[in-house]
Amino acid sequence: MPEPAAIRLLIVDDHPVFREGLKASLGTAPDMTVVGEAGDGRAGIAAYREHSPDVVLMDLRMPGMDGSDAIAAILRTAPEAKIIVLTTFDGDEEIHRALRLGARGYLLKDAFREEILAAIRAVHAGKRHVPAEVASRLAERPIGRDLTDREIQVLELIARGRSNKEIGDELAIAEGTVKAHVNSLLAKLEARDRTEAAVLGLRRGIIRLE
């Protein structure tokens, strides 16, 4: 009876040393082979089209196009694609966003090799893989309290130290409208003030300051 074909993997991560280490680690598994790698989301999309891998290991925050946008783009043209997020970021919004976009698994980079291998095998078999610590962060996410796109823009500018007037000038909206957005996002985040809102937004992965 012939041996089953090895699981063909694509690694998308902007750190070459991490990619090399992961490739070396996964390459020792008898049922896996790394067929491609890329350093950002746009290159990851091109590599997916070129190699048609069985499973993609995708980082989230990368220069140019990030992992979330790459996941969405790949799944638009290949809805059967099996993608596992492998990242250092564990904010509940980042987890929620990746899984909502269609990722089949979510792992942190400090996961043990055996867990990464188990996740790849599970996702390749059509299952999902979300470890307990990631699931617990997701469970902490408030339900029905999503910020609007405009509120996220305002929150990011708050985190950058802008006043309401400066935010209004930058977004071309009235200062009173900015104040209304601030009050709304404070209520949704259950934050006491602007500083706490900014901290919560960064911690949960709602906003980024890169």
Per-residue model confidence as pLDDT tens digits over 167-196:
999 999 999 999 999 999 999 888 899 999
Asked if residue 2 belongs to a domain, the reply is no
Other Cβ atoms closer than 10 A to 118: 16
Q: What pLDDT, on the 0 to 100 scale, is given for residue 147? A: 86
pTM of the full structure: 0.76
Output the CA–CA distances (angstroms, integers) from residue 195 to 104, 145, 151, in the order listed: 35, 19, 15
For the chain, the domain total comes to: 2
Residues 124 and 167 in one domain: no
Same domain for 155 and 76: no
Is residue 93 pLDDT above 90, yes or no? no
Q: What is the pLDDT of residue 2?
A: 56
Q: What is the mean pLDDT of the chain?
A: 91
| 3-class SS string, 2-54 | CCCCCEEEEEECCCHHHHHHHHHHHHCCCCEEEEEEECCHHHHHHHHHHHCCC
- 144 in a structural domain: no
107 band by pLDDT with thresholds 50, 70 and 90: very high
